[in-house]
Structure 1
Amino acid sequence: MAVTETYELKGHIVDSLLLAKVLDQVLESGADYRLDVIDIGRTATDTSRVVIEITADDDEHQLRLAEQLQVHGVNPVDATDATVVVADADGVLPTGFHSTTNLATEVRLAGHWVPVANPEMDCGLVILDPPDGGVPVVRTVAMHRVRGGDRIVVGGLGVRVVAPRIPAGTSSFGFMDSEVSSEKPKGLQLDALADRLRAARTADERVLVVCGPAVVHTGGGPEVARLVRAGWIDVLFAGNGFATHDMESNVLGTSLGVSVTSGAGTEGGHSNHLRVINEIRGHGSIAAAVAAGYIGGGVMYECTERNIPFVLGGSIRDDGPLPDTMTDVVEAADRMRELVDGVGVALMLATTLHAIATGNILPGSVETWCIDINPAVVTKLADRGSHQARGVVTDVGPFLRQLADALGA
């Protein structure tokens, strides 16, 4: 039996083509729609609002479609309190749990809309008692962090999502207007990024940098170290490889056995990174190696000297690994979650796996820049829900040198 529900969508939904995307998705699902209210903003800064009546084949079809559309900020008009169910066991969400997006979200409790404190995609929503006895606190919770007795939001009723914001100055169509175009002027992109980092410093926002080993291979390691030393970087995420080659380049002058000054291979250089890892393991930690004078420069040195928190997330292919590398990826992700609070800008530098992992835990409000020679990295991030990702398709080493110069690092 056909089921009809009414939804609302508001924001910059016309110039971003969001409304067209939503209506196409309704039809592609086999449902139908009717626009009840259309209120289009008069200027580029005005928001628009539409009320959409959607008819689906049955309740299951309607609920499934509503969940898919909520990613775009489509919310039911008839607001009711969220349904809350108590979790039965540790690490298991109740059946039908609400699956979150990374967009700003609110949950209706006792007639009041309560903002979710830490938006993150692919999580549940847990209701916590306030410390002062006031309004309850709503947070996202990863599946493995659920505990028996937790109050979890189930279904989509009583949950609303704010439509994603389009960056100022963008339009629905323009020549070379793609966020991942390799033909965009790199100088203009660099200026825009430098301005954004200056704005972040003024607003007291934290800057997160995610680095892949290619940062060191392309000569960008010293430039990242400059940025850390000058106070432009507040948090670092990387893997065992990046940290290893950063320290290898500073101790032995090579990166994966290749000279960082001449670009030529060195005799026996294929084992250089292993020898560095072994020495660090002998000291017990990167901090101990720095204190002993074994490490005298580089990104990891600067982070250690300036108490910049970092997470080195391990993988099955790591050599060693370094004693600071977190081999439990669940623990690593949890540690990353602890460090993203207050981050306003994230830079993904020549890394795919760590960029995607970081994008999965970042709120959609965090402006994310991907600097990579491979444009597919930005596309992969967007495909996995990080719609805020902006791409600079270029060799990361020279770009970082220009960025550090522009910031006076």
Structure 2
Amino acid sequence: MTVARTVELEGHIIDSGMMARCFGVVMDMGGEFEVEEFEVGRHKHAETYCRMMVTADTEAELRAIVHELNQNGATVADPRDATLEAAPDDQVVPIDFYSTTNHPTFVRVDGEWIPVEDCEMDCALVVDRSSTEVEVRTKVLNAIEEGDLVVTGETGIRVEPPERPRNGGSSFGFMQGGVSSERPSASLIAEIADEMRSVRENDGSVLVVCGPAIIHAGGRDALADLVRAGYIDSLSAGNGFAVHDLERDLYGTSLGVDTETLEHPRKGHKHHIYTISEIGRAGGIEAAVENGTIESGVMYECVSNDVPYVLAGSIRDDGPLPDTITDAIEAQNAIREQAHEADLVLMLSTLLHSVAVGNCLPSTTKTVCVDINPATVTQLLDRGSAQAIGMVTDIGTFLPMLSEELLDEE
């Protein structure tokens, strides 16, 4: 005996690959499907509709298949309202809670499809009836409160993965994703620059995610110039990035190495810990800028130009700096707030912070990841940030080229 469920796909499901992915999901998971209705869009802007019956040997297998189909944009036909269950305790979700993707999501409540606020992967969906209008938002599991109405199962949930652009416009095509392993492409950097101009002209927000390699590789001055010129609206980094940037100002070194001559000054290996001490003595980065201890660099420009920054700590940090957030949950929440406000994110030579920020981003946020290590770029894409454009290249070459593209015309 088999069990069956009918699902629907709608949109540009052929050229986006959605239909092929859904067919593959069913077969890979041991189910079968039968297409009951198929209407092909006959011009560029027309949508295609597919209705298919999915069968499996058991209800558990069918539910697993339907879950995967849902993640890829399929919707259960003739949907009922979403199933809601109250959270039994703080930080505890009901069994079979719906785990979110980072794609635009809608939940059916009282017969209406409600858009989910701040879409983010690996969260629960919570329905709020406290105001005049029903709201649905994502919540990380540690933020769940007893009594929260949590969406469970797959019923009454619609996911809309981003589709390939169809207007034949920009050759960049942010939402198509991909990785370039060639040397920095002048044309691609020009398009990144164009996007940054567009975001600024439309009062949007550019978030830059920074790794210490920016300082080591010689990209510090170019990034500082972009902050000063107003192209960067917020910064996310770890303790190490800020320490090396500040060390460069105080001692002319980064991790004890002179970034101009590549020489190792005497006691240079102690410069990073001396830097942390000096910033602590001043009372923090902002105070060190204001009293003249720090006179240049990325953190200097952030303070001088009121660009907010989040420095998230880790177990391996020296010091850390007084400004570094050492509570992991507090740091996650601060990063999440930055990510939700961003219209464009530049992830520059940092695997851990890129993945952390990527986990908080909706799939509609344009993202550029640049790293000399191809594993950083591919891991970000594999983790679910499929909207990201990846460039495998030296950050010390990329940032000066981007800065030149943006600032030479001003």
Structures share fold, TM-score greater than 0.5: yes
Give the distance between the partners of 2:228 and 2:23, measured in 1 at CA.
Answer: 49
- Superposition pairs for residues 4-403 of structure 1, below 5 Å? 4-129=4-129, 131=131, 133=132, 135-167=133-165, 169=168, 179-183=178-182, 186-403=185-402
Q: Check conservation: 2:340, 2:361, Cα contact below 8 A.
A: no
Q: Check conservation: 1:72, 1:164, Cα contact below 8 A.
A: no
Give SS of 2:346's match. strand
Give the distance between the partners of 1:380 and 1:349, measured in 2 at CA.
Answer: 14
Give SS of 2:62's match. helix
Aligned-residue Cα RMSD (Å) equals 1.8
- Indicate the larger mover: 14-23 or 309-318: 14-23
Deviation (angstroms), 1:119: 0.2
In structure 2, relative to structure 1, the CA distance for the partners of 1:120 and 1:151 (3 Å cut) is: same
CA deviations 1:242-288 (Å, max 9, x no partner) are: 00001111111111111122222222111111100111112221111
The letter for the 2-side match of 1:402 is: M
- Indicate the larger mover: 347-356 or 75-84: 75-84
In structure 2, relative to structure 1, the CA distance for the partners of 1:202 and 1:47 (3 Å cut) is: farther
Deviation (angstroms), 1:185: 6.3
Which residues of structure 2 form unaligned runs of 5+?
A: 170-175
Give SS of 2:125's match. strand
Match of 1:174 in 2: none
Give the distance between the partners of 2:41 and 2:393, measured in 1 at CA.
Answer: 37
The letter for the 2-side match of 1:280 is: I
Give the distance between the partners of 1:119 and 1:201, measured in 2 at CA.
Answer: 23
- Indicate the larger mover: 338-347 or 227-236: 338-347
Deviation (angstroms), 1:349: 0.1
CA deviations 1:152-204 (Å, max 9, x no partner) are: 1111101110122224559xxxxxx9811313761121011111112212332
Deviation (angstroms), 1:17: 2.3
Which residues of structure 1 form unaligned runs of 5+?
A: 171-176
Deviation (angstroms), 1:45: 4.0
- Indicate the larger mover: 75-84 or 177-186: 177-186
The letter for the 1-side match of 2:25 is: Q
Q: Check conservation: 1:10, 1:163, Cα contact below 8 A.
A: no
Give the distance between the partners of 1:95 and 1:307, measured in 2 at CA.
Answer: 45
Give the distance between the partners of 2:318 and 2:355, measured in 1 at CA.
Answer: 22
Give the distance between the partners of 2:47 and 2:244, measured in 1 at CA.
Answer: 48
Give SS of 1:215's match. helix
Give SS of 1:189's match. helix
CA deviations 1:122-166 (Å, max 9, x no partner) are: 0001111354x1x21110000000011111111110111012222
The letter for the 2-side match of 1:108 is: R
State the number of aligned residues: 402
Deviation (angstroms), 1:340: 2.4
Identical columns (%): 45
With the length of structure 2 as denominator, give the TM-score of the two structures: 0.94
- Indicate the larger mover: 7-16 or 303-312: 7-16
Give the distance between the partners of 1:346 and 1:285, measured in 2 at CA.
Answer: 26
Q: Check conservation: 1:73, 1:164, Cα contact below 8 A.
A: no
Q: Check conservation: 1:238, 1:312, Cα contact below 8 A.
A: yes
Give the distance between the partners of 1:178 and 1:161, measured in 2 at CA.
Answer: 19
Match of 2:173 in 1: none
In structure 2, relative to structure 1, the CA distance for the partners of 1:249 and 1:139 (3 Å cut) is: same
Give the distance between the partners of 2:238 and 2:10, measured in 1 at CA.
Answer: 40
Give SS of 1:353's match. helix
Give the distance between the partners of 1:211 and 1:122, measured in 2 at CA.
Answer: 24
